Copies of this chain bind each other. A is one copy, B any other.
């Protein structure tokens, strides 16, 4: 991890660019998968699962018996931990059910908004090396609170055609029992177009590799919404001389172990702290099972030394990190200066993995600089807000003239007439 000391401001933007490793012909390959599933449905899903996941799947839908069996395979310790995390996530996301007031913008003109659940949502849970049951919590809980009518989950089977028991248990624990053994771009296609087995949904959530991400991007052209444009996970830590170098190193590594394309950035006003962190990184790295992954991620990573914490925050706002840790004195006092970040962790004991699993905040967050213009997943992601208005005769009499004048100026005379015809009838009734 290279260190840059006091780079000139004009160079900052360049450091804030994310490394990029696009697969060759990604879009063509994914488009072909989408088309195959659209045309061939379940047959294509089985064929593609055999090709990519190396397993022949008889029943795409997970059976009630498989779900029950999973429950017996998960340890009580893990069940207890999942329950604790679920409780906190439920508390935090329930607090997002804030009702807006109905307003009377003028006497007789009542306007309000109402949150209505998106009817059908699809949750994608990656398989691969780590069974991400925590993502089931992060997507499933707000979907349940929102009241989505249909919540379905897709996740790839392992080489024996099974789904990780922790994933099945967590889904079932939340009341999600419609689970399909399909992964990759083909899962996104199934959710977008529907097959005989897998239902078409209105919005697709969840992380995934480049193929999944590209598939989510492409199906938006077919009227499907997605949670977020996604990229590799990332963390930026701002640390001052009061930070604990061991803690900082552990936070950087917990991001770096996600994948070789993850990026971790350390920003500090103290060269000494940066040096201490580098030593701690080497110590901790040596005992990590995923050390080779983390090492590769560290190669794309860097630390920056700047003149003050305010400058460090300026740099972070330009970078717009998915996760931002403020390991600095009086961290909370700097919270108001944060302009662009997905989720912010304040102080030495707010480690990122708390938010990844159990503190209550969501871990599905904007990456790749999207924290400038996107929020992470929340209750909002599972609803749409419909506006309503109820205008009385006297309300229309009050506002009618303004509408007529504006419609006429926009040369939309039928818009004007919709008011005039009503005002005339009100007049005639008198």
Contact = CB atoms under 8 A, between A and B. Distances in A.
Interface of A: 77-78, 80-82, 84-85, 87-88, 91-92, 95-96, 98-101, 103, 105-106, 109, 111, 113-114, 116, 118-119, 129-134, 166, 202-203, 217, 220-221, 223-225, 229, 244, 246-247, 250-251, 253-254, 256-258, 284, 288-290, 294, 331-332, 335, 338-362, 366, 368-376, 378, 380, 383-393, 395-396, 399, 401-403, 405-407, 409-419, 421-422, 425
Contacts of A81: 401-403, 405-406, 409
B344 A105 contact: no
Contacts of A99: 98
Nearest to A98: B98
Contacts of A425: 244, 246-247
Contacts of A359: 105, 109, 111, 389, 391, 399
User: What copy number does this chain have within its complex?
Assistant: 2
Nearest to A332: B390
A417 B254 contact: yes
A212 B263 CA distance: 34
B342 A412 contact: no
A257 B203 CA distance: 32
A411 to B, nearest CB: 5
A355 B343 CA distance: 36
A288 B390 contact: no
5 contacts: A98-B101, A109-B354, A345-B389, A346-B390, A361-B389
A413 B290 contact: yes
Nearest to A82: B406
A418 to B, nearest CB: 4
A89 to B, nearest CB: 8
Contacts of A415: 254, 257, 352-353, 356-357
Given A96-B113, A294-B414, A414-B257, A403 B357 contact: yes
